[in-house]
Chains A and B, each alone.
Chain A
């Protein structure tokens, strides 16, 4: 099945789509868990009341529940992106370590370390650290600003 997809549909192994697939596999579990928590925190009563106000089930979801979950969804997307940015193991297994082709930030740090370029390692590590910290701050501001889902 894997070789069929690789030859006829889309090439994952040692290709850029491989990075996407690997990161999706690792990150999706966390994203789904966060989204579930967000939607669990929204009382089903809102949709019930919306129905009495003339909204169908689908309309109630799109006009009431989804806007109420907006911040949670945004938070889940940002945290998942930050987690994907630091993903190393699954990426290296599927997409390999090819310079300027399948070179993500963690892979670049690994390659620079292997080549003994410690200055490059430090620079890339600081970039990764800054991106992670900024994401965390944005997420905290989004999710914990006295927001009741």
Chain B
């Protein structure tokens, strides 16, 4: 198990502030955030490659905060894999194996078999493809018999189709590795799809801080701040509470009034809020009468708007709809837009369940 508590570190003008993390054996924590938010610096702090100003890093009950990297027993795979040049794949792995404590040669062959690199062992690293280099780099890190595995953007060097195939491969691979080695894995990425495919838990970072950490479903279901909601691609709108009821609240979002079921309850003095709506919870229809039975008895917002833009993002289609002064993003299949004849410039009705409207109180700093 790895525990990071109250960690502060500086690298030039950038600093990590008050990082708290806990990863259990056999689980994967995905650290995600925009470029320059401190993901790699955090991994380097855990690996011992970056000086820590204050706080603790505890691996398997041992405080390693001030130990040099060679005494931590942490397997680290950097973004560029950093396989040693002018050596074969086998020599790269052997260099780590020589220093491992308690790993038998049979275990090493098991790692090689698991990562399917048997045929690559005699190849020089310059002759390997990005995907092959990645697997050799993971094998090298595992050959140390590490107590923790740190993977820094392992898919960043792959092109999108390979990335997609490898993403699926990595998730299966990591699960097998957990089974075999029972170690905590920290996986850094800035790709949401990759994060959901690989991780059990997710930590979102911004400006050197962790904004939210928790199981992936929980973070996707209830983002705790404006940054998290925006990073996940949700609609985030500035709102003002008009009135509160026992069943929910009414919020004004730029001339449009929305019903929200506020399950956790909102304190009475909160007026300024952020309204968060997932694009997949925004349903568009050309008429007011087209919804099925399951919508009839629900507490639902029906808003009139104009479709402004419809575009493809990967395999899904997205639409931007102008409702009053605000623009809402909706995610639907492209066939849906064709079937209901929703085109840019056309009037549409926007359906949003009140239970799907989340409300985050706005703090004095302007952040949720």
Q: A residues engaging B (CB < 8 A)?
A: 42-43, 45-46, 48-56, 63-64, 67-68, 70-71, 146-149
Contact = CB atoms under 8 A, between A and B. Distances in A.
A52 B84 contact: no
A68 B86 contact: yes
A48 B47 CA distance: 9
Nearest to B150: A52
A68 B126 contact: no
Contacts, number: 67
Interface string B130-158: 00000000001100100000000000000
Which interface residue of A54, A63, A68 has the most chain B CB atoms within 10 A? Answer: A54
Query: For the complex, would chain A's binding face be called helix, strand, loop or mixed by DSSP majority?
Result: helix
Contacts of A70: 86
B49 interface: yes
B208 interface: no
A55 B82 contact: no
Nearest to B80: A45
B126 A48 contact: no
16 contacts: A43-B82, A45-B82, A46-B82, A48-B78, A49-B82, A50-B84, A51-B70, A52-B70, A52-B144, A53-B95, A55-B99, A64-B95, A67-B86, A68-B86, A146-B126, A149-B85
Contact of A52 (B75, B86, B126): B75
Contacts of B126: 146, 148
A52 B69 CA distance: 5
A45 B86 contact: no
B82 A48 contact: yes
Contacts of A46: 82, 84-85
A106 to B, nearest CB: 36
A149 B72 CA distance: 28
Contact of B99 (A53, A64, A67): A53
